[in-house]
Structure 1
């Protein structure tokens, strides 16, 4: 499970030319981004027609920032029971650099989605929750957007920590920490993350009465922010929504059962 707010110590191995190329790719792909509801189920109170929800995550082998297991799970709705799991071992080519997570992680996640479409299209998820940000991003095009556009599937970004955006004091880390503590009093409370420019990047959401730290929900692709917030809240048994929570649990269990950490330590 990554945390998009942490910058890799070896991030400087990616030069300015590469970063500029990545930024241009994000800008180009963003032209295909859909931030309104384009989904196969109703947005009524019951989300009529919703049956399958996906979650994706990467878990890293202990003491290794490059070798990881990408995981995709499909849960039934509304029971939130696991119906399908798949994994892919990956060796990542680039370090983590803030704002460019997709170039490190999108390929294996896209591969898992494509594989499911081919193998079991009847249970293909009607939307996917991504462990990473969507429009809550310096260029409003994080991992959840990148994956959604490339796969052409509805996605939602859910981050565990706030990614500071350069758009006024309203989106500074100290301000967001203070205001979310003051405003988010109970489960279901929402604080919209609006910058000085007037842009709404996402929302801080308190999952449950029993959790105090918020999660950060943003548009991925083909789902509006308000619908995304409602869907995420329906998926929360704990602080983290079940699709990504189970993707994380399953990928860590896969690492353990495959003895990947033992192999890594002995190599």
Structure 2
């Protein structure tokens, strides 16, 4: 991995971070029942097993609060940027932006009012993960939701973290992910009464952390919020049909 490329990416993250908003920016975000919110998006990339280049880039748009699929876009893409921890956005964001652009051209009335991203936002090594990158470049509110804990800035998968997880009594309960410096970069959320394993929610863009957590919980039928779950299921199904010999 070339040092100049990493430096270029770090510089780009720094530049984009200046534009990031981590406060509520839309009227619906401040309302108890999110009235005014009608469309929630979800994005994901699924890879053919053993192939880290060819993937299905997926966008779905669901109705809110019904969480029924209104729109889906599955597209095979070839990733050109290398995988480097902390810089996942440079591999994936261009294809997710293209999906949003196609939607804007085809059915602009279905453009989501918020996008759930399968990955982290501010909870990231450099406080600018995939959800932040996509949010700033798309100009849409974004929420990062990760299924596994990124051990970053002193947040660790240790006994204390496990005891905090054990203390989550019911769906909607959460605790902050606090860095060594005392900064809160996200929250661990018990997404449903049935799911004891939390998900990790962080701000992407144009939304506050508390609103992001509340909205994520309201979109969960299972452990993972429905927009991301549908994007994941549909991209895997797309690969399964087109590449039946590959185990995805």
What value does the CA root-mean-square deviation take over the aligned residues?
A: 1.5
Say whether 1:102 aligns with 2:89: yes
How far apart, CA to CA, are the structure 2 residues paired with 1:237 and 1:57?
Answer: 18
2 CA distance for matches of 1:252 and 1:95?
A: 22
Name stretches of at least 5 consecutive residues in structure 2 with no aligned partner: none
> What is aligned with 1:222?
206
Q: Secondary structure in 2 aligned to 1:180?
A: helix
1:92 deviates by: 1.0
Q: Which residue of 2 aligns with 1:235?
A: 219
> Partners of 1:132 and 1:38 in 2: how far apart?
21
Say if 2:120 is the partner of 1:144: no
**Equivalent residue for 1:43?**
30
* 8 Å CA contact 1:116, 1:124 repeated in 2: yes
TM-score (norm 1): 0.89
C-alpha contact (below 8 Å) 1:233/1:241 kept by paired residues: yes
Task: Indicate yes or no: 2:151 matched with 1:164.
Answer: yes
Q: How many Å separate the matches in 1 of 2:181 and 2:244?
A: 46
Question: How much has 1:179 moved relative to structure 2?
Answer: 3.5
Aligned residue for 1:211, secondary structure, equals coil
Stretch deviating more after TM superposition (124-133 or 177-186) = 177-186
SS of the residue corresponding to residue 105 of structure 2 reads helix
Q: How many residues are paired up?
A: 247
Instruction: Give 1:174's aligned residue.
Output: 158
The answer to which of 40-49 and 124-133 deviates more is 40-49
Q: Distance in 2 between matches of 1:231 and 1:189?
A: 13
Q: In structure 1, what is the equivalent of residue 72 of structure 2?
A: 85
Give the equivalent residue in structure 1 for 2:7. 20
- Deviation sequence 1:16-57 (CA, Å, 0-9, x none): 221111111101100000000112525222111110000000
CA contact (8 A) 1:165 1:172 kept: yes
Distance in 1 between residues matched to 2:77 and 2:160, nearest whole Å:
35
TM-score (norm 2): 0.95
Unpaired segments of 5 or more residues in structure 1? 1-13
Alignment partner of 1:173: what SS? Answer: coil
Q: Distance in 2 between matches of 1:239 and 1:232?
A: 10
